[in-house]
Amino acid sequence: MAVVFEKPKSLTDATLHYCPGCTHGIIHRLVAEAIDELGIQGRTIGVAPVGCSVMAYDYFDVDFVQAPHGRAPAVATGVKRADPENNIVFTYQGDGDLAAIGTAETVHAAARRENITVIFVNNAIYGMTGGQMAPTTLPGQVTQTSPYGRDVETVGYPIKVCELLSQVDGAVYLERVSVNNPANIKKAKKAIKKAFQNQIEGKGFSLVEVVSTCPTNWGMTPVKALEWVEENMLPYYPLGVYKDIYAEEEAK
pLDDT of residue 252: 67
- The DSSP string of 104-148 is HHHHHHHHTT-S-EEEEEE-SS-TTTTS---TTPPTT--BTTBTT
| CATH classification at residue 34 | 3.40.50.970
3 in a structural domain: no
Are residues 161 and 241 in contact, defined by beta-carbon separation less than 8 angstroms?
Answer: no
Distance CA 238, CA 122 (A): 12
4 in a structural domain: no
End-to-end Cα spacing for the chain: 48
Expressed as residue numbers, the domain containing 94 is 24-251
Residue-wise burial string across 113-144, b where 16 or more C-beta atoms lie within 10 A, e elsewhere = bbbbbbbbbbbbbbbbeebebbbbbbeebbbe
125 in a structural domain: yes
1 in a structural domain: no
Q: pLDDT, tens digit, for every residue of 108-141?
A: 999 999 999 999 999 999 988 888 999 999 999 9
Length of the chain, in residues: 252
12 in a structural domain: no
Q: What is the DSSP letter of 220?
A: -
13 in a structural domain: no
**pLDDT over 90 at 62, yes or no:** yes
Count of structural domains within the chain: 1
Which contiguous run of DSSP H or E holds residue 90?
strand 88-94
2 in a structural domain: no
Q: pLDDT, tens digit, for every residue of 19-59?
A: 999 999 999 999 999 999 999 999 999 999 998 888 999 99
Helices (runs of H) and strands (runs of E) counted in the chain: 11, 7
11 in a structural domain: no
CB atoms within 10 A of CB 107: 18
3-state secondary structure at position 57: helix
Distance CA 112, CA 135 (A): 24
13-17, 128-132, 202-206, 215-219: segment of lowest average pLDDT: 128-132
Are residues 31 and 92 in contact, defined by beta-carbon separation less than 8 angstroms?
Answer: yes
pTM for the model: 0.96
